Amino acid sequence: MISKPKAKTARAPILDAVRRAARQEQFLEVVSAAEARRRFEAQIDRSALPGESLPLVAALSRVIAADVIAPVDAPPFDRANVDGFAVRAADTLGASPGTPKRLLLNSEVIACGIAPDLEVVPGATTAIATGGVIPRGADAVVMIEHTELVEGDAAPAIDLHRAVASGQYISYAGSDIARGETLLRRGTQIGSREIGMLAACGFAAIEAVRQPRVAVLSTGDELVEPGKPLRPGGVYDSNGAIIAAAVAEAGGEAVPFGVVRDDEAALEQAMRRALSSCDMVVLSGGTSKGAGDLSHRVVSRLGSPGILVHGVALKPGKPLCLAVIGDKPLVVLPGFPTSAIFTFHSFVAPIIRARAGLPVEALRMVTARVPMRIPSELGREEFVLVSLVAADDGLIAFPTGKGSGAVTAFSQADGFFAVDALASALDAGSEAEVTLIGESKRAPDLVIMGSHDVALDVVVGALAERGLRVRTIAVGSLGGVNAASRGECDIAPVHLVDPATGIYNNHLLTPDLALIPGWRRMQGLVFRPGDARFEGRSVEAALQAALADPAGLMVNRNAGSGTRVLIDNLLRGAKPAGYANQPRSHNAVAAAIAQHRADWGVAISPVARLYGLGFLPVAPEHYDFLVVEARRQRAAVQAFIEVLRDEATRGRIRALGMEP
């Protein structure tokens, strides 16, 4: 919100606040990631917590505390696997349809759960059901289908039409689980299969490692609990949710403490409560240098040994603070979401796993080519989150490029690679060792790289319904053109205008790239409803009014975007106030206007509608698809083209305000 400068009397307190904000407290000592880990791990117990007895129903996904030795055999007795007759195999020798063997029937039928009474003596047999106990004397079972009942005046008998070998259709006692064998090893995570094995051995309960209780706190006056309305300047507390979930994934029990104000007393009280009730404390936020950096100040008075590391030479994650209070680890993660989750996974998750009794997670690495130059800060080991795409000559790693403040960078990445602290950049085309994160996913069937649009989600959704896995990487129109030219994607959505002709996208065609028409998105002047400079006027008149108003402020677009070309055409060389503010998306333009940081700009109509803004149509923008010719015949590319033509899809695109 823009507010008028305060009157003179209010100046002194404001100046104080500005001085506080500008104060740069230094990190105690910035250490390397390896040194940070060494110091931290030297002070903490990483052994598995003791076991606790849990009923089987509550044991799912817990970790077995001690090796489980099978107390019984499974099956507990020699068991028939088919319905038929228990026999001595020797008696069946030579039986065939032409020369059947006759066996006298014992006068009992062994159903499941019945202990047999009679022995199968030579020349005799007993009827037995699947699951029945093999009687004394028998060593095989003949299927009922290979026998014929003989009824007459003599005692009942069967004729066998087939010989069987000893052991046929018998599961011997202990052949599944042998009494005394190690059924499950400690450290095994309990899934449904393990629960089945335990039940088969008669266990109703199991010793599972107690889960470390991990307190999760967020601090920041701007933070709003999800579910509540966002106030101006507010940000949803996403760290609390993602860290609590990551704690559970690492085998811990997350104990949510919610959001704590940026207030030393409140923070100290919350941290003390957390320390007394949990095994470990993870706080995010309050780490930026200057006014808000209070987390480490509070931690420094909680007890000894106290802060071990404050400041790590890595990016993202420099403000990380590692402490131990008594015997409990306490970690302050940077507030920026990507930094928070990244440092959580490198410094906290391994400890939770160890205490939860889970084995060290083996790092899974792949080699991939990095197509662009990656500038990097000297003196800090820099981690770059990437999406992996399979090309003809191996894997390519694309930086997700969203910065440490992004919430999605980590969740959308397939992995990351490190740029050495001593390198100032990684050259384009370099090979990198990428550490994979999350479950290894099946390679996508279709890779779409370029500009993103809400209607593209409709197309991707339709492809997903056909069972195709689509990976979209938003790199902007120009990024898409480059990726398509290098054959790194199948399809590149673009909306670039040729400034010479005013025609969209046609100038991007090469012998290797074809163009498939997508849809048009109406661009126009956007403004807050009720603004008399715009409301009800023609575009021309509105522009004149806006330019004539000395208090008016526009928001521009980045050079290279089609919208920017349109804006420059409209302005005919004028550079009004706000021209230098050049965000990269329609949404950013609309947000700036809706939040009074600017008064007008140019954006597409669906976005104007989404932000409740007024709209004066100017000219359509063409959002089309470059298709890499060499990949055009692939089934997934063909499916994409079909879906684009599909009337149901087109209807949904229209509903979003686009014209397919």
Among the listed ranges 237-245, 364-372, 378-386, 486-494, the one in contact with ligand AMP (CB under 6 A) is 237-245
Q: Which of 316, 317, 335, 578 binds ligand AMP (CB under 6 A)?
A: 335
Among the listed ranges 50-58, 120-128, 218-226, 649-657, the one in contact with ligand AMP (CB under 6 A) is 218-226
The residue (of 121 and 291) whose beta carbon lies closer to Mg ion is: 291
Enter the tokens of residue 359.
Answer: 């084995």
> Least separation, in Å, of the C-beta of 343 and ligand AMP?
12
> Least separation, in Å, of the C-beta of 176 and ligand AMP?
50
Among the listed ranges 291-299, 341-349, 494-502, 551-559, the one in contact with Mg ion (CB under 5 A) is 291-299
Number of residues that bind Mg ion (CB under 5 A): 4
- Chain centroid offset of residue 449 CA: 20
Enter the tokens of residue 585.
Answer: 């998306």
Among the listed ranges 74-82, 114-122, 330-338, 511-519, the one in contact with ligand AMP (CB under 6 A) is 330-338
CB 217 within 8 A of CB 258: yes
411 lines the binding site for ligand AMP (CB under 6 A) = no
316 lines the binding site for ligand AMP (CB under 6 A) = no
Enter the tokens of residue 86.
Answer: 């228990």
- Contacts with 580 (C-beta within 8 Å, 6 or more apart), sequence order: 556
The residue (of 91 and 237) whose beta carbon lies closer to Mg ion is: 237
Rounded alpha-carbon distances, angstroms, from residue 389 to 396, 416, 445, 489, 497? 5, 13, 10, 8, 28
Residue least distant from ligand AMP (Cβ): 335
Separation CA 523–CA 525 (nearest Å): 7
Rounded alpha-carbon distances, angstroms, from residue 172 to 81, 86, 165, 197, 475? 10, 14, 15, 17, 62
Among the listed ranges 23-31, 202-210, 284-292, 575-583, the one in contact with ligand AMP (CB under 6 A) is 284-292
Give yes or no for a cis peptide into 620 (omega within 30° of 0).
no
CB 235 within 8 A of CB 223: yes
Number of residues that bind ligand AMP (CB under 6 A): 20
- Contacts with 254 (C-beta within 8 Å, 6 or more apart), sequence order: 214, 216, 243, 244, 245, 247, 248
Enter the tokens of residue 20.
Answer: 């506080």
Separation CA 260–CA 289 (nearest Å): 19
Separation CA 221–CA 338 (nearest Å): 19
Amino acid at 170: I
> Least separation, in Å, of the C-beta of 229 and Mg ion?
20
Q: Which of 266, 268, 242, 267 is nearest to 256 (CA)?
A: 242
The residue (of 147 and 239) whose beta carbon lies closer to ligand AMP is: 239
Q: Which of 116, 137, 334, 476 binds ligand AMP (CB under 6 A)?
A: 334
Residue located via tokens 């890595």: 314
Local structure of 307: helix, strand or coil = strand
> Least separation, in Å, of the C-beta of 393 and ligand AMP?
39
The residue (of 30 and 267) whose beta carbon lies closer to Mg ion is: 267
The residue (of 259 and 496) whose beta carbon lies closer to Mg ion is: 259
The residue (of 258 and 379) whose beta carbon lies closer to ligand AMP is: 258
Enter the tokens of residue 149.
Answer: 């009942």
Among the listed ranges 233-241, 453-461, 471-479, 631-639, the one in contact with ligand AMP (CB under 6 A) is 233-241
Name which of ligand AMP, Mg ion, none residue 472 binds, using a CB cut-off of 5 to 8 Å depending on partner kind.
none
Q: Which of 239, 387, 430, 482 binds ligand AMP (CB under 6 A)?
A: 239
CB 131 within 8 A of CB 138: no
Q: What is the dihedral of CA 634, 640, 641, 643, to 10 degrees?
A: 140
Q: Which of 126, 287, 472, 561 binds ligand AMP (CB under 6 A)?
A: 287
- Chain centroid offset of residue 630 CA: 32
Footprint of Mg ion on residues 324-343 (CB under 5 A)? 335
The residue (of 131 and 405) whose beta carbon lies closer to ligand AMP is: 405
220 lines the binding site for Mg ion (CB under 5 A) = yes
338 lines the binding site for ligand AMP (CB under 6 A) = no
Q: What number of residues does the chain have?
A: 660
317 lines the binding site for ligand AMP (CB under 6 A) = no
> Least separation, in Å, of the C-beta of 25 and ligand AMP?
12
Footprint of ligand AMP on residues 563-592 (CB under 6 A)? none
Residue least distant from Mg ion (Cβ): 220
CB 389 within 8 A of CB 464: no
Q: Which of 299, 270, 303 is nearest to 287 (CA)?
A: 299
Q: Which of 100, 116, 174, 285 binds Mg ion (CB under 5 A)?
A: 285
Q: Which of 292, 311, 401, 444 binds Mg ion (CB under 5 A)?
A: 292
218 lines the binding site for ligand AMP (CB under 6 A) = yes
319 lines the binding site for Mg ion (CB under 5 A) = no
Q: Which of 222, 268, 431, 568 binds ligand AMP (CB under 6 A)?
A: 222
Enter the tokens of residue 34.
Answer: 């390896």
| E strand or H helix that includes residue 447 | strand 446-450
Q: Which residues bind ligand AMP (CB under 6 A)?
A: 218, 220, 222-223, 235, 237-240, 284-288, 292, 334-337, 405
Q: Which residues bind Mg ion (CB under 5 A)?
A: 220, 285, 292, 335
